[in-house]
Structure 1
Amino acid sequence: MSDRAPPHALADAASPPASARRAVRGLLAVIAVLAVSACAVGPDYQRPAQDVGTAYGHAPEGRWIPADTPPRDLPADWWTLYGDGVLNDLMARMSQGNLDLARAEAQYREARAALDSARAGLFPTVGASGSMTRSGQGAPQAGGPSDTYNLSATASWEVDLWGRVRRGVEAARAGEQAGAADLGAMRLSLRSALAQAYFGVRASQLQDALLARTLDEYARALEMTRNRMAAGVASSADVAAASAQLDQTRAQRIRLGWQRAQQIHAIAVLLGEVPAGFRLAGDAGLPAVPGVPVGVPSALLLRRPDVAGAERRVAQANARIGVAQAAWFPDLTLSAQGGYRAAEFASWIMTPARFWTLGPTLALSLFDGGARAAAVASARAAYDAQAAAYRKTVLDALREVEDALVQSQALAEEQAARDRALAAARETLRQVTNQYRAGLVDYLSVVQAQASALSAEQASLDVRAERLTASTQLIAALGGGYALN
Structure 2
Amino acid sequence: MQGLGRLGWVAVSGLLVALLAACSVEPTYKRPDAAAPAAFKEAPIAAKDAGTWKAAQPADDAHRGEWWSVFGDATLNQLEEQAAAANQDLKAAAARVQQARAVTRSARASWFPSLDAGFGPTRERLSPASQFLPDDRNVPTQTLWRAQGTVSYEADLFGRVSSNVNAARADAQQSEALFRSVQLALQADVAQNYFQLRQFDSQVDLFRRTVALREDALKLAERRFKEGDISELDVSQARNELATAQADAVGVARQRAASEHSLAILLGKAPADFSFPETPLAPVAVRIPPGLPSALLERRPDIAAAERAMAAANARVGLAKSAFFPQLDITGSFGYESATLGDLFKWSTRTFLLGPFAGTALTLPIFDGGRRQAGLDQARARYDEQVAQYREQVLVAFREVEDNLSDLRLLDDQMKAQNDAVNASQRAAHLSRTQYEEGQVSYLNVIDSERSVLVSQVQASQLQGVQAVATVNLIRALGGGWGDDTKIGNASPQQGAAQDTQQMAKR
**TM-score of the aligned structures, taking structure 2 as reference length:** 0.84
Q: Deviations over 1:240-285 (max 9, x none)?
A: 2211111110000011111110111111111121112211246263
Give the aligned partner of residue 477 of structure 1: 477
Offset at residue 136 of structure 1 (A): 6.5
Distance in 1 between residues matched to 2:7 and 2:143, nearest whole Å: 32
Contact 2:327 2:364 in 1 (8 A): yes
Contact 2:211 2:246 in 1 (8 A): yes
Give the aligned partner of residue 443 of structure 2: 443
Letter in 2 for 1:44: T
Distance in 2 between residues matched to 1:318 and 1:329, nearest whole Å: 18
Distance in 2 between residues matched to 1:354 and 1:24, nearest whole Å: 23
Structure 1 residues 324 and 301: alpha-carbon distance in aligned structure 2, compared to 1, 3 A threshold = same
Q: Deviations over 1:224-247 (max 9, x none)?
A: 122122222222222122111111
1:87-102 paired onto structure 2 within 5 Å:
87-102=76-91
Offset at residue 29 of structure 1 (A): 5.7
Give the aligned partner of residue 261 of structure 2: 265
Give the aligned partner of residue 353 of structure 2: 357
Contact 2:159 2:319 in 1 (8 A): yes
Give the aligned partner of residue 464 of structure 1: 464
Offset at residue 32 of structure 1 (A): 4.5
1:242-281 paired onto structure 2 within 5 Å:
242-281=238-277
Letter in 2 for 1:414: Q
Give the aligned partner of residue 47 of structure 1: 31
Contact 1:341 1:348 in 2 (8 A): yes
Distance in 1 between residues matched to 2:363 and 2:139, nearest whole Å: 43
Distance in 2 between residues matched to 1:438 and 1:134, nearest whole Å: 117
Distance in 2 between residues matched to 1:209 and 1:314, nearest whole Å: 52
Distance in 1 between residues matched to 2:382 and 2:64, nearest whole Å: 36
Give the aligned partner of residue 384 of structure 2: 384
Contact 1:289 1:471 in 2 (8 A): no
Give the aligned partner of residue 315 of structure 2: 319
Offset at residue 23 of structure 1 (A): 5.7
Contact 1:300 1:307 in 2 (8 A): no
Q: How many residues align?
A: 459
1:367-382 paired onto structure 2 within 5 Å:
367-382=367-382
Structure 1 residues 177 and 403: alpha-carbon distance in aligned structure 2, compared to 1, 3 A threshold = same
1:58-457 paired onto structure 2 within 5 Å:
58-61=42-45, 75-133=64-122, 146-281=142-277, 283=279, 285-286=281-282, 288-358=284-354, 359=358, 360-457=360-457
Give the aligned partner of residue 31 of structure 1: 14
Structure 1 residues 137 and 401: alpha-carbon distance in aligned structure 2, compared to 1, 3 A threshold = closer
Distance in 1 between residues matched to 2:289 and 2:14, nearest whole Å: 55
Letter in 2 for 1:51: A
Offset at residue 137 of structure 1 (A): 8.1
Farther off after superposition, 313-322 or 351-360: 351-360
Letter in 1 for 2:205: A
Structure 2 regions of 5+ residues with no counterpart?
51-61, 128-136, 483-492, 498-507
**TM-score of the aligned structures, taking structure 1 as reference length:** 0.88
Q: Deviations over 1:185-222 (max 9, x none)?
A: 11122222221111111111111111111111111111
Offset at residue 47 of structure 1 (A): 0.7
Q: Deviations over 1:162-204 (max 9, x none)?
A: 0011111111111111111111111122222221111111111
Distance in 2 between residues matched to 1:413 and 1:27, nearest whole Å: 81
Distance in 2 between residues matched to 1:95 and 1:269, nearest whole Å: 12
Distance in 1 between residues matched to 2:140 and 2:163, nearest whole Å: 56
Offset at residue 56 of structure 1 (A): 0.5
Distance in 2 between residues matched to 1:415 and 1:21, nearest whole Å: 91
Distance in 2 between residues matched to 1:367 and 1:142, nearest whole Å: 44
Distance in 2 between residues matched to 1:98 and 1:478, nearest whole Å: 23
Q: Deviations over 1:455-474 (max 9, x none)?
A: 11111111100000111111
Distance in 1 between residues matched to 2:228 and 2:378, nearest whole Å: 90
Distance in 2 between residues matched to 1:24 and 1:53, nearest whole Å: 63
Contact 1:202 1:285 in 2 (8 A): yes
Contact 2:418 2:456 in 1 (8 A): yes
Q: Report the aligned-residue RMSD.
A: 2.7
Farther off after superposition, 125-134 or 142-151: 142-151
Farther off after superposition, 51-60 or 145-154: 145-154
Structure 1 residues 75 and 173: alpha-carbon distance in aligned structure 2, compared to 1, 3 A threshold = closer
Distance in 2 between residues matched to 1:21 and 1:237, nearest whole Å: 120
Distance in 2 between residues matched to 1:106 and 1:187, nearest whole Å: 13
Distance in 2 between residues matched to 1:39 and 1:89, nearest whole Å: 55
Task: Name the SS for the 2:158 alignment partner.
Answer: coil
Letter in 1 for 2:30: Q
Distance in 1 between residues matched to 2:24 and 2:365, nearest whole Å: 19
Task: Name the SS for the 1:328 alignment partner.
Answer: coil
Task: Name the SS for the 2:413 alignment partner.
Answer: helix
Contact 2:201 2:280 in 1 (8 A): no
Offset at residue 26 of structure 1 (A): 5.0
Give the aligned partner of residue 5 of structure 1: none
Task: Name the SS for the 1:395 alignment partner.
Answer: helix
Letter in 1 for 2:204: D
Structure 1 regions of 5+ residues with no counterpart?
1-17, 68-72
Q: Deviations over 1:11-64 (max 9, x none)?
A: xxxxxxx9999967853663245325522102111111111111010003369x
Q: Deviations over 1:399-454 (max 9, x none)?
A: 11111111111111111111111111111112222222222211111111111111
Farther off after superposition, 189-198 or 119-128: 189-198
Contact 2:199 2:280 in 1 (8 A): no
Contact 1:149 1:343 in 2 (8 A): yes
Distance in 2 between residues matched to 1:209 and 1:21, nearest whole Å: 96
Distance in 2 between residues matched to 1:374 and 1:413, nearest whole Å: 58
Task: Name the SS for the 1:46 alignment partner.
Answer: coil
Task: Name the SS for the 2:115 alignment partner.
Answer: strand
Letter in 1 for 2:311: A
Contact 1:289 1:467 in 2 (8 A): no
Contact 1:101 1:187 in 2 (8 A): yes
Contact 1:310 1:390 in 2 (8 A): yes
Contact 2:201 2:278 in 1 (8 A): no
